[in-house]
Structure 1
Amino acid sequence: MQPEREPGPGPLAGLKVIDLTTSYAGPTAAMYLADLGADVIKVERPRTGDDARWWGPPFVDSRSAWFASANRNKRSVGIDLRQPDGLTTLRTLLATADVFIENLNPAKLQSAKIDPDTLRQGFPRLIYCAISGFGLTGPDRLLPGYDLVAQARSGLMSVTGAEGGTPQRVSTALSDIVTGMCAALAISAAVVRQREQGTGDLIDMSLLDCDLALMAPRIAAYLAGAPEPAPSGGTDSVLAVYQTFSTADRELAVAIGNDAMWMRFCHAVGLPHLAADKTLADNEGRRHHRGVIVQEVEARLRKRPAKEWLGVLAEAQVPCSLVQGLSEVVADPQVTARGALLPVPGTDGRMHSVHSPFRLASVKRPRNSASPERSAHTAEVLREHGFSSKDIETLAASGAIEVIEHRGTGR
């Protein structure tokens, strides 16, 4: 057996990112940059660190699963930004950085003189990414924002939930994760120009804007005259039929995306009279008669178990899936074949993160170092930036930085 190759450097190799974010959106953005090869230096508060370090249970060896899922491939530096020497230390790191990501309160940024205007004037080459609940402009720019608030305000919750029921939050950190993805995309685009022209940029990311992007088709339809949508259990898609159905044993999702697919579906499940009905030949007709169609289809699908229908519909080339629980998702053959679950090093398989959604041919194996212990790389990073051992000792003694030696914290 040949030895495994080391992870490839990635297209962002050589990019230095200072990550001053906490919780989930900003750390996700920085992690995706790290996955692509960037050197991400995570700046944390001494003694407490990122808020997400305490999100749990579950914890594995005192490490939060939530924190681990958004912080792989980073180094941690403890700096107290309330102290002048701490701010000076941060600015020393920024002097050679390519990207700075923050999600702090604007007032705190200005008092520390690390707000966009100040830093961009001092470091014109720097790509500054500000992540917030509502953006840098507008009447609510100073309001705090979290995933739940963004889902509520964007209208996302208003269309989610059972028909006739109350609005529901999508039960994952959707706003945070999408904002992180979008931030990583915008930063990567800015890096292209930075490398070509030597110029920086200001990237203004908000949870609300990203959730509005998720709602784009629903907003467009409403403004074009469609009725205001309400929770419907996913049965009111612009497409018909495009929803879940009860079978003999469990729920099955069926996604019919065009007229030819509708015909194949009807014949496959034994409803040829629906295929022959000219009033149902196009999507508009199927939407108009959705109630009747759903009754007939569900009555038919209830006659056999979901896995049997999976085989029938797969042969007919009709998109469908079991509505899987996480116990099934993590054992799904496609998920495992794609290497989507990354064991966190040093946890003996008790903790995993999820592979970033992109896969590059140039990167044969994903970067997958464990999320860093708090302040584990302070001395290492500062030495790289010209600090002597005496400088580091003095800063640590004053409390401006935190230095904690951990075993097994290599990159």
Structure 2
Amino acid sequence: MAQPLKGLRVIDLTKDFAGPFCTMILSDLGAEVIKVEKPGYGDETRSWGPPFVKGLSHYFLSLNRGKKSITLDLKTTAAQKIIRQLVQDSDILVESFRPGSLTQYNLDYARLRRLNKALVYCSISGFGQTGPYRDRPGYDIVAFAMSGIMSTTGEEGRPSVRVSIPVADIAAGHYASTAILACLSRRLVTGRGEYIDISLYDSIVSWLSYLATYYFATGKEPRRMGSAHPSIVPYQAFKCKDKELVIAVGNDSQWQALCRTLGFERLSEEKRFSTNPDRVRNRAKLIPMLAGRLRKNTTAYWSRALNENGVPSAPVYKIAEMVRDPQIKNRGLFKSTRSDIPELVSPIRFIKDHKGFSNPAPRLGQDTRKVLQELGYSKASIKKLAENKAI
């Protein structure tokens, strides 16, 4: 079965994480993604290492599977012309330049729309195309710091903590891909494309979800609580005899099952712990009792016992443990490729799944000549472009 976006072309003028994450989702769904990079240097994530695998940064490898790479110096009129030629027969353009920067190259939405009214054009930036911060540079940690989420992450009395993956970038990339797919759907009816403005800051602020409503409902800042939840108890990590175990009791039936599993039947009968609001109010008394009991046996013992009794729980895996997990193996989240290491694949599953393998992340400029030839450039013309340092 053909992939859903097979036959669609994406011009990828992005770098770093959020934009490439968005276009990788589109590539995973079958679109042809042509990644445009600076001659000689490429996407700056190519140099983000070590480690490197066959000269490619592990960072770059994780974000660019299945894409083509061409090199163009967009400061040259020849390169700008090539982009305009590509746009005429493309469906999507994604860019992550500073707001307004592509106007100087005549590659902004207003101009490119004249060439292709069906073009879906998505801009991803730190703070968006409008507002007092539009011209600020913005990496993931900047948006995360300003979102309010970082102030609630970590343990009480200790410094704020960055999540180990770039959540603002991932949020923006996901929202961008969702918006693009929505515009493609509407285009089937109207025949017209759209302009999309995505910012890292907006995207990660939207992830506040219940923390925002907590603040507006109470007027109070949510506290740093480590792995614990402000409104559900117990819902956190506990130290067992050997490792950590997460327990997530989402309702009172699960609370009763937890008490039976731990041999704490008397706790299930105590009014101060009988409902979730009661347990939240009496968190300081309850958690030490649970922690003391859980330390008496291993994570594997408690995980097996709790899951057998219907209590959601899991060990806190290291990556090596996750890779060996039978559920991950069954779902096929890692595939052997033509590179030296396994790679993550898309988690999206269809009933009639596409079983093909995507190509590994591209070498810098490996597809430049082929793409130009498809546009009608002769070998002599391509040689001249190279001599003029346009490619």
Deviation string for 1:11-64 (max 9, x for gaps)?
A: 011111000000111011101101000010111110001111111000011111
Residue 208 of structure 1: aligned partner: 201
After TM superposition, the structure 1 = structure 2 runs for residues 157-172 of structure 1, keeping only pairs within 5 Å, are: 157-172=150-165
Give 1:370's aligned residue.
360
Percent identity at matched positions? 39
Aligned residues: 391
Q: Call closer, same or farther: CA 1:145–1:352 in 2, change over 3 Å.
A: farther
Q: Do the aligned partners of 1:129 and 1:183 also contact (CA within 8 Å) in 2? A: yes
Classify the secondary structure of the residue corresponding to 1:41.
Answer: strand
Q: Is the 8 A contact 1:13 1:38 kept in 2?
A: yes
Identify the match of residue 25 of structure 2 among 25, 29, 32. Answer: 32
SS at match of 2:111: helix
Given that 1:248 and 1:305 are in contact with CA atoms closer than 8 Å, whether structure 2 keeps it comes out as yes
Q: Which position in structure 2 is the counterpart of 1:383?
A: 373
Match of 1:21 among 6, 14, 19: 14
Q: Does 1:80 align with 2:73?
A: yes
- What residue is the counterpart of 2:387 in the other structure? 397
Higher mean displacement: 351-360 or 282-291: 351-360
Structure 2: segments with no counterpart, 5+ residues: none
Q: Deviations over 1:143-199 (max 9, x none)?
A: 111111011010121111122211111011222122212211111111112233211
Offset at residue 366 of structure 1 (A): 5.2
| Runs (4+) off by over 4 Å | none
TM-aligned CA deviation for residue 208 of structure 1: 1.0
Task: Quickly say closer, same or farther: Cα 1:226–1:248, change in 2 above 3 A.
Answer: farther
Residue in 2 that maps onto 1:313: 306
CA distance in 1, matches of 2:209, 2:265: 36
Partner Cα distance (2:59, 2:337) in 1: 12
Equivalent-residue separation in structure 2 for 1:151 and 1:343 (angstroms) = 34
Secondary structure of the residue aligned to 2:301 is helix
- 1:148-159 alignment runs, 5 A limit: 148-159=141-152
Aligned counterparts of 2:110 and 2:271: Cα–Cα separation in 1: 63
In structure 1, runs of 5+ residues without a counterpart are: 1-7, 402-411
Give the structure 2 partner of residue 281 of structure 1.
274
By how many angstroms is 1:232 displaced?
1.6
Match of 2:347 among 338, 357, 381: 357
Aligned counterpart in structure 2 of residue 267 of structure 1, from 253, 260, 263? 260
1:405 is aligned to none
RMSD: 1.4
- 1:44 matched residue in structure 2: 37
Query: Do 2:69 and 2:365's aligned partners in 1 also have CA atoms closer than 8 Å?
Result: yes
Tell me which residue corresponds to 1:409: none
2:3 and 2:354 in contact (8 A); partners too: no
| Alignment match, 1:337 | 330
Decide whether the 8 Å contact of 2:2 with 2:354 is kept in 1: no
Q: Give me the whole-angstrom Cα distance separating, in 2, the residues matched to 1:74 and 1:272.
A: 57
Residue equivalent to 1:253 = 246
* Separation in structure 2 between the aligned mates of residue 322 and residue 210 of structure 1, nearest angstrom: 30
Deviation at 1:301, TM superposition (A): 0.7
Shift of residue 291 of structure 1?
A: 1.0
The 5-angstrom pairing of residues 234-253 of structure 1 reads 234-253=227-246
1:204 partner SS:
strand
Using the TM superposition, give the Cα deviation of residue 367 of structure 1 relative to its aligned residue in structure 2, in angstroms: 3.8
Task: Tell me what 1:222 maps to.
Answer: 215
CA deviations 1:202-232 (Å, max 9, x no partner) are: 1111111111122111111111116312322
CA contact under 8 A between 1:11 and 1:37: conserved in structure 2?
yes
Give yes or no for contact 2:147–2:205 (8 Å, CA) kept in 1.
yes
Q: 2: distance between equivalents of 1:147 and 1:342?
A: 28
Change (3 A) 1:367 1:195: farther
Asked if the contact 1:342–1:368 (Cα under 8 Å) also holds between the matched residues in 2, the reply is no
TM-score normalised per structure 2: 0.96
What is the TM-score when the length of structure 1 is the normalising length? 0.92
Alpha carbons 1:244, 1:254 under 8 Å: kept: yes
Structure 1 residue identity aligned to 2:353:
V
